[in-house]
Amino acid sequence: MKQRVRAARALDGEVYPPGDKSISHRALILNSIAQGNARVSNFSQAGDCLATVACLRALGAEIESGEVGELFVRGVGKGGLKEAEDVLDAEDSATTMRILTGLLAAQPFLSVITGDESLRSRPMSRVIQPLRLMGARIWGRSGDSRAPLVIKGGQLHGIRYQLPVASAQLKSAVLLAALFAKGDTIIKEPMPSRDHTEILLKAMGAEIEVAADTITLSPSRLNAVDLIIPGDISSAAFWLVAGAVHPQASIRLLNTGINPTRSGILDVLRSMGADLIVQNERVLNGEPVADLEVHSSALTGVEIGGGLIPRLIDEIPLIALAACAARGKTVIRDAQELRVKETDRISATVGELLKMGAEAEELPDGMVIYGGKKLRGASCDSHRDHRLAMMLGIAALIAEGETEIDNAEVADISYPTFWQDLENLSSGQ
């Protein structure tokens, strides 16, 4: 699908961002192997999360749909999953593939898991390595580094493991395996990554201790919990940046998760000078939530890197766009992980923004953007990357003339109502 977007005269209104994608995956996976029944509300309708539901059902999980965004899970308990009759398909979702690989490594049956072309090109050895140290038998293509993966599950043992990258998918894969292992597992992170798995494990009664950079998990049984999934800050971020960079904007984002391991975008926008207000802070099932309000702002460039990067890893294409509208230079470093996302997000972000008249260059681990160049409509491509497609949609709202975004339907991977929300918020396109 080709999406055409013209500059909006004004951006105004309220949005409930879709249910958080990361929490949705975890809510379903953990409740499926728990004891008891759970009702999960505001579950993300994103393609990635639906892939997790399909994989879990194929493994014998009992999941029924209620109203939109409502799922009822009858936990099958710790030993209740069954061998799937066919290959599991994680589609475009690395979270599905990596976390389920941890779970499947500990089940007494064989699993084969694959994904789409993009997912089959992404690194999987980072998950295979620690799981093998736990005794798992896993193989993959390209010297055990790419999917499809073959997992011959069995009894695992706990390990002490220093994660080589700050990745919540990797951390969660090891935690899932550790639930079933003999003995404790101790994980150290180089920098804090999103901690939704730890929060949920605690809420479900697992024996888990989190201290500074170390997580200790003992083999545990889980109790099912009802959950209301907070709105996804990574989806809200499109409107936060749109509101800040558009000269005539006022946008409210209701019920948005602001977990500190995810809220780096708020810190960066504030340090760029954004007019951003956080209201009605509350805690929902252990996850901090708030309503956010953003108004047109005069932004200035920033330098970001280090421990901030995992807290905003998915928002970097948007930060690049904010930097285009800012005064001065922005430097983004320590973000080499972007090269192994749905596409190489460093080269795709810089390449597409250059087409729109930005002044930007790639660094091996990030990019430099020289702000202040007026963007102009162009013929752009999402590279079949949902976050790229949506970032270009926001860029189009401040560009001169019309922007065409090819393969724009991929927004469904994380935010199925994105193009509708864009139309609802825009006036005078």
> Which residues have a catalytic role annotated?
314
* Amino acid at the residue 198: E
> For residues 179-198, which are near ligand S3P according to CB under 6 A?
193-194
Q: Among 24, 169, 343, 349, which residue interacts with ligand S3P (rule: CB under 6 A)?
A: 169
CA 76 to each of CA 28, 66, 88, 159, 218: distance values in angstroms, whole numbers, following the listed order: 12, 19, 19, 26, 20
Task: Provide, rounded to whole angstroms, the least separation between the CB of residue 217 and ligand S3P.
Answer: 16
Q: Among 46, 227, 265, 313, which residue interacts with ligand S3P (rule: CB under 6 A)?
A: 313
Q: Among 31, 32, 44, 95, which residue interacts with ligand S3P (rule: CB under 6 A)?
A: 95
Q: Among 91, 195, 291, 314, which residue interacts with ligand S3P (rule: CB under 6 A)?
A: 314
261 binds ligand S3P (CB under 6 A): no
Q: Side by side, which strands form the sheet with 379-381?
A: 3-6, 402-406, 379-381
CB nearer to ligand S3P: pick between 10 and 284: 284
Task: Provide, rounded to whole angstroms, the least separation between the CB of residue 140 and ligand S3P.
Answer: 16
349 binds ligand S3P (CB under 6 A): no
168 binds ligand S3P (CB under 6 A): yes
* C-alpha closest to that of 27 among 126, 95, 82, 109: 95
Q: Residues binding ligand S3P: what is the number (CB under 6 A)?
A: 12
Q: Among 167, 235, 255, 407, which residue interacts with ligand S3P (rule: CB under 6 A)?
A: 167
Question: Is the link from the previous residue into 230 a cis peptide, with omega within 30 of 0?
Answer: no
3-state SS, one letter per residue, for 254-275: EEEECCCCCCHHHHHHHHCCCE
* C-alpha closest to that of 314 among 260, 233, 369: 233
Applying CB under 6 A, the span of 65-73, 165-173, 180-188, 348-356 interacting with ligand S3P comes to: 165-173
Residue 262 tokens, joined:
């995810």
Applying CB under 6 A, the span of 142-150, 169-177, 238-246, 416-424 interacting with ligand S3P comes to: 169-177
Task: Provide, rounded to whole angstroms, the least separation between the CB of residue 195 and ligand S3P.
Answer: 10
CB nearer to ligand S3P: pick between 164 and 247: 164
Residue 158 tokens, joined:
């706990």
**CB neighbours of 243 closer than 8 A, spacing ≥ 6?**
11, 249, 250, 251, 294, 295, 296, 297
Give the ranges where 94-214 is alpha helix by DSSP (H).
94-104, 117-120, 125-133, 141-144, 168-180, 196-203
> For residues 384-413, which are near ligand S3P according to CB under 6 A?
none
Q: Which residues bind ligand S3P (CB under 6 A)?
A: 22, 95, 167-170, 172, 193-194, 313-314, 337
